[in-house]
Amino acid sequence: MNIILLGAPGAGKGTQAEVICDRLNIPAISTGNIIREALKSGTEMGQKAKSFMDAGALVPDEVVIGIIKERLALSDCENGFILDGFPRTIPQAEALDSMGVKIDKVISIEVSDDKIIKRMSGRRVCEKCGASYHLEYKAPTQEGTCDKCAGTLIQRKDDHPDTVKARLDVFHTETEPLKSYYEKQGKLSLVEGQEKVEDTTALLLKQLEA
């Protein structure tokens, strides 16, 4: 099954993508994580993306489309994949369609802006493997340490409150129109984001089985 997860920054796409990945045994592909990896290893693409990312703006379409093309060509995508954070604009969705990538389901995780702003302050990510945590909703077993790889948990620069507001604006203008794009294709389902991660997961899995 080829799945797209839509949602505001901080709506829990990444966390849910990891859960579905384990359940369905298909890779979770996060353009944000791929870009952060490129940044860490100092590639030219990473350098180009940095200023956009730090400002809470979107990285140009041609850059992320290139990333996704390469990633979807790898053999682990043969039995399906979950896209987390791609597409984020109409041209990105059109690029997927014109590449001939068939999407089965698009799930939008719905969370209000107020809640997003509250949530983001507690968000932490693993410096090493990119796994996401939350001080309140998804705390690691040991404070400050990743459960998966024992890496150090840090707060992302773009999770600063001012940047979060900028990212929410971008979400509403650039990304939200994708809901009607996929609704027209008959692929869209909405899942109301819950306080507890497990509760959102349960709703999401129900949608995937439907």
Query: Would you name the residues annotated as active-site residues?
Result: 13, 88, 123, 156, 167
- Sign of the torsion formed by the C-alpha atoms of 51, 56, 60 and 63: positive
Residue listed under structure tokens 């089965």: 104
* 129 phi/psi in degrees, rounded to 5: -110, -5
Segment 41 to 60, residues that bind ligand ADP, using CB under 6 A: 52-53, 56-59
| Rounded Cα gap, residues 152 and 124, in angstroms | 10
Strands (E), the chain: 2-7, 28-30, 81-84, 105-110, 123-126, 132-134, 153-154, 188-192
Contact between 125 and Zn ion by CB under 5 A: the answer reads no
Beta bridge partners of 20: none
Minimum CB separation of residue 126 from Zn ion in Å reads 3
Contact between 119 and ligand ADP by CB under 6 A: the answer reads no
Contact between 134 and ligand ADP by CB under 6 A: the answer reads no
Among 149, 154, 157, 173, binds Zn ion (CB under 5 A): 149
Segment 149 to 178, residues that bind ligand ADP, using CB under 6 A: 158, 167
Among 3, 6, 10, 106, binds ligand ADP (CB under 6 A): 10
Contact between 35 and ligand ADP by CB under 6 A: the answer reads yes
Residue 57 or 77: the one with the smaller Cβ distance to ligand ADP is 57
| Rounded Cα gap, residues 159 and 32, in angstroms | 13
Residues in contact with ligand ADP, total (CB under 6 A)? 20
Residue 30 or 108: the one with the smaller Cβ distance to ligand ADP is 30
| Rounded Cα gap, residues 179 and 190, in angstroms | 9
The angle, 0 to 180 degrees and rounded to 10, between the axes of the packed helices 197-209 and 13-24 is: 50
* Cα dihedral 79, 202, 130, 188 in deg (nearest 10): 60
Q: Which two three-digit tokens encode residue 140?
A: 């690691």
Contact between 148 and Zn ion by CB under 5 A: the answer reads yes
Among 86, 133, 181, 182, binds ligand ADP (CB under 6 A): 86
Among 68, 126, 164, 188, binds Zn ion (CB under 5 A): 126
- Which does residue 131 bind out of Zn ion, ligand ADP, none, counting CB within 5 to 8 angstroms by kind? Zn ion
* Site residues (vs ligand ADP, CB under 6 A): 9-10, 13, 30-32, 35, 52-53, 56-59, 64, 85-86, 88, 92, 158, 167
